Chain A
């Protein structure tokens, strides 16, 4: 190298360039050194300066691009999309406006669980400066900044299910409550935008925001939310020339609105005192989107071990990460403690027991769902019958009825071969609370090891015995929830006990209002594997963890198996199985039944799932997923047509892809 340098030096000295001579001299000290005229600061230009330079460069480029982006006409992204995909179809709002549809019936949105924003009105010291800032929804920034404080404020009181002392967290009101869940993640925004195209605005649209953590009746007790909804609907009907409202509940909002319809006609003090004609006078149609009428199995795993399929996988991959990271120590325990104070989660425990969800060896879905699911897309009503025939060869009968089983072998064996230890016997057994020194209290710590073992020994739980299980592992939670929700099937709906509000959100224990002109739609996505049953195992971890967890190692044999990662899937919209979303409209309320004495017409509108074709489409315009369906053009078109005055007949009546009618036949429900 010395040779090299010397050669260079002499070479450059040949040239008459003065600067190069300077370079030569400097190079003797340091090859990288700057020329002399800046040599006074040349020593600093090593790291710190480079950093500054780099940051400045990145910032400048970023700003420059931002500037370009902002000055670019808004239509360019559309040009790009069109260039790639060919001409875009008009959004339904634009299309229908061209057809001449205009604003007609006022519209009420009822958001579901977790999609509504919550804001802080009063808090502890640690939440200083967050007054009227969103705790739930928006950016969730506070979750990361002060996780424990956040969890504390999001929790409710463990005994009453209402506010803990000194904390008031309230729902955000207005359309902003649930138009976007987080920045850029739409919930109602697309529907709102399309309705606005045909002339809807604030006075004809109303977001019935409520605190989704509370039990339904408690939203009235604490916030008078039901009274507010009643008064707002009355106002909208009055100011729009007597036009009845079209109600669009989504997800848990469906149950909430069922509750509302009973509440509003019940006499005070328990009800709203609207009289027996209120619904007939004020409601044109209830368009339920993705309604978990009969509950969702997901809620069981949520209550049991705070796991959904997605989390379960994360938990196995990185057991240390989720367990130790965000909340300092035990994420799941914190999450469980928080969610277990939310009464509303109990509204979605599967209802109707074994009659609806299937027993040990029987389930309405039987073997008819192809869990490979790829062929299911884009099929029409005609060929649904053929699919089971094609796939029957490689499909076993899945025991969907066993919502929780301990061990894969148990899940697949015939019921006669399973040895079960009766849960009730062990319940009677001496309860030794092992007072461990856990920082975070969850009810599991009060139970004791042998009871946990007893739970595992019972092995299989159906929709009926799942309630016993939950009562067993979390008695306080279920005692609180039992006062607000019921999960059975009514034998005699005229029994005066069914006037209690705890039955109002269970479609199997209430009668629909006397409103023969009203219409009920069940609109939901199909074609996505949806959690239906779980394989569990007992964790071997330390004392302070949750003792059960989904056995993610349980896999079905073939590609098309319904068992994946410890979860049995069935047809649905990723969250709600078809059975829960469609059964009431397919059977329970079809025609004049005891649940529907006035014969309100019920329609099923299914939307087959098609994933977005490319990235530019975002979350897709033909999606059938539980939340993304709110951006499904076909669904939006249906909603707009009804809002503009169409009836279910004019829409085309039922529109079914799944086997819901066949399943409904198999269910032995007295009508």
Chain B
């Protein structure tokens, strides 16, 4: 019966289909006959028609599916093969494995102090736009995905209050505590992880390894005021000291953590309420050694360009290449302005400004690095032999010195001329005059709501400052910054100082704002303590910048930018508006090594008890990545450095690991610096 019926019906159906398809776009009319076979036929036909038009959607699906499948297959294979490949890498990655075989065992508890931007931050209370992010990371880890999802909200929550430098009302962002705080700043980007792994190999674990996470946006004293971070650190160190059989701790600060820990050293011995009330002798009792990594003792010039125009070297390139993208891209309107607005609320940035003024960083015509040669690649070649000393290399240097020394002292110069000419040829208008002239600031109301402090300055004074042929040294720099960012500087000056003390006995130096400046504080009375300055050398590092007025004169624009067009022939220190010197990519050798090489060497007025200091430099070797890298952050994975640290943690003294190890000109540079000791 059914087949009969089918036979009768089928022709009709087919006809209609054909009719339709010939007239329109072959869309079969959906006639349901309630017979399975007919429907199958329809389906087949439909499928056939689909094949006819498989061009776009189906192909897409097919390609996606194909890619996915291949990807999964590869992933599967990778996971299967992983155990075998890992097995080969391990001995190389793990100096600890070798040291453990030598019988090394962790004795002293270890405290890690992370630097700026490497610590994670998480949200505890936020505006409605941050709904559902409670205790999720805003910084580090997966936090940066939020930047892409809700950029403005993200920036708002990372800002601090403009007046107090503390939380803005209704927003609480707190550091991620514990070892989770800084071990992965972003996924796959190790900061402390390699070190922690190695420490664990020789027996470290939660009870004798502590990560002193703190909110790196705040000024150091404010971390205590808001989060009791310094008290926590003190109690942790005391606990670890007691719980591990009265073994003193080894502290490993990195980058800005170095300055933070200097602050802690003073804070802990100062009586309350300003200090921690540990009493004199606390450091001597509890601390064995401070192994500073990539220390920014005397600040970094990068911080200046950051404050002035939110530019690092990398950003400057980018800005020149694609002016449109950053200026109007991601953040709806202007990325740099937003970044500047946020980062200017962070007091800690100010702690990184160059300290010691012209005495340390050089003046208009002189700088301690005068003999520096910029041919990094060749220099590396000549200085490769580990047994090198300065005599051998001075010959080599003569060859490559082409002309007058670079005037590193001029940290900011407007126009290339200003960075090269002799100081007598520069115009003499001082900043003070401009300041005086524009004492009555005419508020530029045409821009509406002020975004950055630049909007509150008159166009004229901006132009005056940025007029060509002006240069600023580490001392006059502060006048400039006071002028362009008065609020920030006022706020921050209550927390940081950047000078050199004439008389350290002056009671004013008991104030906490001097505690993080090694040139204005005395080291604690702890003759058995040791201080290491470990840092990478051989990588070009920003030392001074050439600026220009930004071409666009619109509102809400940063009026200055690094002049990336300024360049010189190969072998010059000047590249894209930035003068480079030796360093670890972020911190110049001068800042990292000077205190250990000279300021604290022996018994000086900064180091009255004669704490032993050691300079440990790590030469950059190509390829500059992975386990031999010496760049500012990557150095945390440098095996030579890790080995040194493990030995110190296992009880070795600085003499036992080989004392000073110097590749750079730091000793000669320090000689040239005329600092009263």
Contacts and interface: CB of A to CB of B under 8 A. Distances in A.
B60 A196 contact: no
B464 to A, nearest CB: 46
A55 B607 CA distance: 69
A75 interface: yes
Contacts of A201: 124, 172, 174
- Chain B interface residue number, banded: 35 or more
A415 B83 CA distance: 61
Interface in A74-133: 74-75, 121-122, 128-129, 131-132
Contacts of A197: 125
Nearest to B239: A231
Interface stretch (B6-14, B295-303, B308-316): B6-14
Interface string A44-62: 0100010111111101100
A172 B621 CA distance: 38
Contacts of B149: 70
Contacts of B527: none
A228 B172 CA distance: 27
Contacts of B22: 15-17, 20
Interface string B202-224: 00011100000000000000000
Contacts of B87: 128
Given A8-B14, A54-B65, A201-B172, A75 B207 contact: no
Among A42, A132, A202, the one with the most B-chain Cβ atoms within 10 Å of its Cβ is A202
B673 to A, nearest CB: 41
A180 to B, nearest CB: 10
Interface stretch (A29-37, A322-330, A366-374, A405-413): A29-37
Given A11-B14, A52-B65, A174-B178, A129 B243 contact: no
A238 B231 contact: yes
Given A60-B64, A129-B82, A196 B134 contact: yes
Contacts of A131: 197, 200
Given A52-B69, A171-B206, A60 B48 contact: no
A93 B602 CA distance: 58
A615 interface: no
Interface residues of A, number: 66
A272 B670 CA distance: 51
B200 A121 contact: yes
A75 to B, nearest CB: 7
B10 A32 contact: no
A32 B227 CA distance: 72
A7 B11 CA distance: 7
A226 to B, nearest CB: 10
Contact of A20 (B10, B18, B66, B207): B18
Interface string A187-218: 00100110011000111000000000000000
A32 B239 contact: no
B447 interface: no
B63 interface: yes
Interface string A176-193: 100100000000010011
A499 interface: no
Contacts, number: 165
A55 B69 contact: yes
Contacts of B83: 128-129
Given A11-B14, A38-B54, A3 B7 contact: yes
A57 B238 CA distance: 60
A59 B68 contact: yes
B228 interface: yes
A57 B235 contact: no
A31 B227 CA distance: 75
Contact of B125 (A7, A174, A196): A196
Contacts of A171: 206
Interface in A1-24: 3-4, 7-8, 11-12, 14-17, 19-20, 23
Contacts of A179: 135
B124 A174 contact: no
A34 B52 contact: yes
A132 B178 CA distance: 13
Interface string B1-43: 0000011001100110011011000000000000000000000
Nearest to A37: B52
B207 A56 contact: no
A19 B52 contact: yes
A42 B51 contact: yes
Given A45-B51, A57-B65, A174-B178, A235 B227 contact: no
B62 A49 contact: yes
Contact of A174 (B18, B44, B177, B242): B177
B399 interface: no
A170 interface: yes
B51 A235 contact: no
A232 interface: yes
Given A55-B69, A132-B197, A231-B235, 15 more contacts: A7-B10, A12-B18, A14-B18, A15-B18, A17-B22, A20-B21, A34-B51, A56-B60, A59-B65, A60-B61, A74-B132, A129-B86, A173-B179, A196-B135, A202-B227
13 contacts: A11-B18, A34-B54, A52-B61, A173-B179, A189-B135, A192-B135, A201-B172, A202-B124, A224-B207, A228-B207, A231-B239, A238-B231, A239-B231
The 8 A-B residue pairs with the shortest CB-CB distance in the complex, in nearest-first order? A56-B65, A56-B64, A52-B65, A55-B65, A56-B61, A34-B51, A224-B243, A239-B228
